Amino acid sequence: MEIVLAIGIGVLVSSGVWLIFRPRTFQVVIGLSLLSYAVNLFIIAMGRLKSEAAPILSSGGVGDPGRYADPLPQALVLTAIVISFATTALLLVVLIASRGLTGTDHVDGRELDR
């Protein structure tokens, strides 16, 4: 499972980095989204991967911590997802405003060869 997740994160990060270096704003937005997915997966991985384990204790008893998943990274990921979702939405609005004001979707607001 670890190797699959690691490869997945790697592919997402490399595509994301390549995309944010592109000159079109929409490519940059998609790149940022891919990077944020990769980061979210990475946070989960940092809480150790464990399948078929709940992050909350069953009722009536402390039990063995080894049988439960770490709840903290899940809480962190939830926060991170919400924040990156909101900022991406904001960026999209700015992208549209920039497109409307400059007439181009180049990140610098003008084409290079003009």
Partner 1 sequence: MIAPVAVPLFASAMMLVLGGDRRTLNATLNAASVVALVAIAIALLRGADTSPDGLLGVYRLGDWPAPFAIVLVVDRLTAMMLLLTSILASATLIFSLARWHRVGAHFHSLFQLLLMGINGAFLTGDLFNLFVFFEVLLAASYGLALHGSGTARVTAGMHYIIVNLVASLLFLIGVSLIYGVTGTLNMADLATRIPAIRAEDRALLEAGAAVLGIAFLTKAGMWPMCFWLPRTYAAAPPPVAALFAILTKVGVYIILRLWLLLFGDHAGASAHFGGELLLIGGMATIVFGAIGCLASQDMARLAAYSVLVSSGTVLSAIAMGPVDMTAGALYYLVSSTLGLAALFLLIELIERGREPGADLLAVTRELYGEEDELDDSKGTGIAIPASIAALGGAFICCTLVISGLPPLSGFVAKFALLTAALNSQPDSIPIAAWIFLVILILSGLATLIATTRAGIHALWASPDRAVPSVRLVEIVPIVALILLCAAQTMQAGPVMRYAQAAAGSLYTPHDYLRSVLGTENVLQHIRREPR
- List of residues contacting partner 1 (CB under 8 A): 20, 25, 28, 32, 35-36, 39, 42-43, 45-48, 72-73, 76, 79-80, 83-84, 86-88, 90-91, 94-95, 97-98, 101-102, 107-109
Q: Are the CB atoms for 47 and 69 separated by under 8 Å?
A: yes
- Separation CA 42–CA 22 (nearest Å): 24
Using alpha carbons, select from 93, 90, 105, 98 the residue that is nearest to residue 23: 105
Cα 102 versus chain centre, distance: 29
Q: How far is the CB of 28 from partner 1 (least distance, A)?
A: 6
Q: Which is nearer to partner 1, 63 or 109 (CB)?
A: 109
Q: How far is the CB of 51 from partner 1 (least distance, A)?
A: 18
Q: Which is nearer to partner 1, 22 or 67 (CB)?
A: 22
Position of tokens 């592919």?
11
